[in-house]
Structure 1
Amino acid sequence: MVRSFLITVSAALMLAAASTAAAAAAVHWEFVDANQPQTLEYQINCTKELRGVYEDLSIYAVPEPCWIKTSMLPAEHMYSQLIVLERQHLEGDSAQDIQDWSDAVTDAVADYAIHSESKTGEGNGAQLPYTVFRGRRKFCRFTTIDLPASQPKHRIVIGSNCAADETFNLIDFLPSNTEVLPVRTQGFVDPLLSLPPNHPIITKSKTLKHRKSLQAIVDQVNIKTLEKDVTWLTGEADGSPFLTRSSTSKQSLEVAQWIKSQFESYGCDKVELMTYNRRFGPNVICTFTGTERPDEHVIIGAHHDSRGSFFNPRAPGADDDGSGSSMLLQVARIIKANNLSFGRTFVISAFSGEEQGLFGSAALARKMKEDGTSITMMIQGDMLAYRKPGEPIQVAFPARYHTPELSSLLRNVTELYVPEAVVGITGACCSDHQSFWEAGFPATAFFERNGPIADPMYHNSGDLVYREGYDFEQLRASTKAMMASVFEVADIKFDL
């Protein structure tokens, strides 16, 4: 199993490092293969800060007077940032497919620079995209960065001298199966790689047993209401106003408002819209306060934003992630229908900004960490409804960016309460649970299939409900598995 993590230096630490150099000091980047450590010579009073670690790739920042060798990032100030682009593995991939993806990403970064420059009509002939940076006019510069030969070919790093929230439009120029993972620029990233022996997840793993009362609740997951919710979100239902759920569209706010109204009708103790970026729709957060341990939180999430085909205004996202959004609504509906309560505080969160780089979940995870919130677990449902013709119903857990002990527990929960599902592992990665995992909270994800992504409409305007492979029995099984998992850990209270 591959484990990876990102560590970032806080803004204050970056400013302190910059103050030791000249007034116009720049932050530059150097890449070192972690498997082949190098001895580096420094000038007096120079420091070298570890800015990030991404699997076996170490990323260092050094002030301009302390250059060790030629910088590989064309940035001229301390706020320069990196974005890791990873190719989601699709079924049937070949070496040529991966090479084609790499070429397409390199071309897309160049095309984005040219397109953005020509659109504004400004510049100095250097083909640099124009943007607004911290209230002043700046040229955002993008470039693909050569990595050590040891790095996998399905990974590309690009450099920019713009802040992370200034670069999200780049996704419109990338191949559809590209995951965008900004190296965080606010605060340290400190993944929780293992749980202490007294953690509630470990305790639950030792005491887990099937309960008929919980099975009776889980079996209430209803296909008709799942279909009603997801087709409203995709615009396929009569009367639905939604054409797109792109995070940057006006309809993203309208979708969030609709989800908020649904949560309110299901009796959440509190429903809030969390606005974290003026260009994105907000997160929608429903809270059921715990009756015994209200300071301990269990979070279930999905993302309400979507992505369509290249420059196609239609972004229905039936599977990615209308399926997860309908799962959240189903959980809330069943809580109300059965007048359920929980020992721990139970949070249902519909995130935005996932497709652009997990922005919504990163904002919530960061806030919870800053507030000192105790999170017992966070689980994400992303792409839950596609079943390749001829394959069985499946539930898969991630091979990376997750807490192993938590995934192990939830695998057992799934096998107890959803015996019709074949449980396994997927290489699909990088959904909103990763934001919580990076912040040091126990987190994992549920996915529709063992192995690579098989949905041919992945990140496509054809990601609709009424098509071959979109399967409500698959979605029902995924929803049951996630519901059983959160209800077990949140300590469900019922009287049946």
Structure 2
Amino acid sequence: MRTKQLGAIALWLACATPAFAGDADKEVWITVGTDALEPVRASLLREGTVLPAVAHEKDGVAVLHVRESQLDKVSAVIHSKLNRCAGFMAHDSEAQAREALAQLTPREMAPSLVSYTIDNPTAAKSLVGAVTESGIRGTITSLSTGFPSRRYTLASGKDAATWLKDRWTTLANGRSDISVELYTHSSTVSPQPSVILTIKGTSTTSNEVVVLGGHLDSINGSGSSAAAPGADDDASGVASLTEVIRVIVAKGYRPLRTVKFMAYAAEEGGLRGSKDIAAKYKSTSVNVVGVLQLDMTNYRGSSPHIVLVSDYTNAAQNTFLTNLLTQYVPNTVVGTTRCGYACSDHASWHNQGYPASIPFEAYLGEDNPTIHTANDTLAQSAGSAQNSVKFTQLAAAYVAELAKGTVTVP
């Protein structure tokens, strides 16, 4: 998500390196909120570069082309001025960008595909009650200290994906209904793969899919090779997903609908991993009935415990989340905020017409001020993952009540 570190941003603008080494002059098409155009244009002009004219525009979103080497600069400006991350979506061609624009779902009008009933308390309470702070903290620690950076262009970013695949495979404990894969993207999308764990549904509704995601990559604004622990952004979200997986296996939970957990590659580079997956699912008619994104869950920056993003999300599913918190995570203070176009991976699904939601750690502008720096460590949350517990419990309840199903261990 965003950062307030203006000094780091200034250094980044001075020292930014190409997203793909050796391909600095490659032309990349992006879709970006029109409110980002002026600050980006002003920043590039200060460096002697003229931002190309907008090629197409629809509903507050513009299509234009930049150089691969300029993407870090574009991202940095959007971070500093509009509090978004990445704040744009990257595309391989003008045709692909125009297609994304044509398919754009209005900000608050993504359709609901299911009835949001809350009637599975046995499974929900079992999963919610088994969530532990230590389990979440362990994954945050492993991801944020075990890899110097999880940037999608670096070898360590690929290594982090392999580590997470192995971790999720171990947690699956040999269950035949659970599979884990590295989802390989094309070289133009991301050299880092995404990681997907699938739990097959057990009923006639198994063709309906529930997706929970977070992004695996991390970045440091001072340069592509600088340390990027990314403890909050977004090891915390991936850790929350990992804890839900652990609890699901421990409680013998088997869903009626199919459930997929996804750790996306290259969110920071323009939502590349999630965009690739969501587009593939849409083109192959995968029936995704709900998407939950966890991007930064472990920093308490505002009085609400959980802040729901209201734009580019599904209003009915957002209400469902609020009701789940009331029912299963009582005493949770809930707020709402708006984060604009393409501020995290939920936007990839929303843009394909799937219902998506993102509960966030604070109001925009009040979230963790150390993200995208070497200081985004667990120390910013006093060495604890306690703030992530409510997000993880919400995710567990979301699985139990949207995918339904049963547990074998109360």
| TM-score between both structures, scaled by the size of structure 2 | 0.78
The answer to whether residue 184 in structure 2 is matched with residue 275 in structure 1 is: yes
Distance 1:161 1:171, change over 3 A: closer
Q: Matched residues in 2 for 1:295 and 1:484: separation?
A: 21
Larger radius of gyration: 1
Q: Aligned residue for 1:395?
A: 306
- On the 8 A contact 1:423/1:450 being kept in 2, the answer is no
Q: Aligned residue for 1:230?
A: 140
Q: Deviations over 1:273-316 (max 9, x none)?
A: 11213243111001000000221100000001112132261111
- Within a 5 Å distance, the mapping from 1:86-105 to structure 2 comes to none
- On the 8 A contact 2:110/2:350 being kept in 1, the answer is no
Q: Which has the higher helix share?
A: 2
- Within a 5 Å distance, the mapping from 1:69-84 to structure 2 comes to 81-84=29-32
The answer to whether residue 339 in structure 2 is matched with residue 428 in structure 1 is: yes
The answer to whether residue 253 in structure 2 is matched with residue 343 in structure 1 is: no
Q: Which residue of 73, 93, 118 maps to 1:208? A: 118
Q: Deviations over 1:449-495 (max 9, x none)?
A: 24543321132221110125675221111111121112210113113
The answer to whether residue 404 in structure 2 is matched with residue 494 in structure 1 is: no
Q: Which residue of 227, 234, 239 maps to 1:326? A: 239
Q: Which residue of 206, 230, 233 maps to 1:294? A: 206
Q: Aligned residue for 1:354?
A: 267
- Within a 5 Å distance, the mapping from 1:72-471 to structure 2 comes to 81-84=29-32, 106-108=42-44, 111=47, 143=51, 145=53, 159-160=64-65, 168-170=71-73, 174=77, 176-177=79-80, 178=84, 179-182=86-89, 185-186=95-96, 187-188=99-100, 189-191=103-105, 193-195=109-111, 199-200=113-114, 203-204=115-116, 207-209=117-119, 211-235=121-145, 240=146, 242-267=147-172, 269-278=178-187, 279-292=190-203, 293-311=205-223, 313-388=226-301, 392=303, 394-429=305-340, 430-450=343-363, 452-467=365-380
Distance 1:219 1:87, change over 3 A: farther
Q: Matched residues in 1 for 2:152 and 2:360: separation?
A: 22
Distance 1:409 1:244, change over 3 A: same
Q: Deviations over 1:38-62 (max 9, x none)?
A: xxxxxxxxxxxxxxxxxxxxxxxxx
Total equivalences in the alignment: 357
Q: Which has the higher strand share?
A: 1
Once the 2 structures are TM-superposed, how far is the Cα of residue 146 of structure 1 from its aligned partner?
8.1
- On the 8 A contact 1:323/1:385 being kept in 2, the answer is yes
- On the 8 A contact 1:272/1:286 being kept in 2, the answer is yes
SS of match in other structure, 2:88: strand
**What stretches of structure 1 of length at least 5 have no aligned partner?**
1-78, 89-100, 114-141
Amino acid at match of 1:417: Y
| TM-score between both structures, scaled by the size of structure 1 | 0.65
Q: Aligned residue for 2:10?
A: none
Amino acid at match of 2:186: N
**What stretches of structure 2 of length at least 5 have no aligned partner?**
1-26
- On the 8 A contact 1:395/1:423 being kept in 2, the answer is yes
Distance 1:463 1:437, change over 3 A: same
Q: Deviations over 1:383-418 (max 9, x none)?
A: 111013xx5561121121101111111111122111
User: Relative contact order (alpha carbons < 8 A, sep ≥ 6): 1 or 2 greater?
Assistant: 2
Amino acid at match of 2:182: L
Q: Matched residues in 1 for 2:47 and 2:220: separation?
A: 19
Q: Matched residues in 1 for 2:153 and 2:297: separation?
A: 24
Q: Aligned residue for 1:16?
A: none
- On the 8 A contact 1:176/1:460 being kept in 2, the answer is no
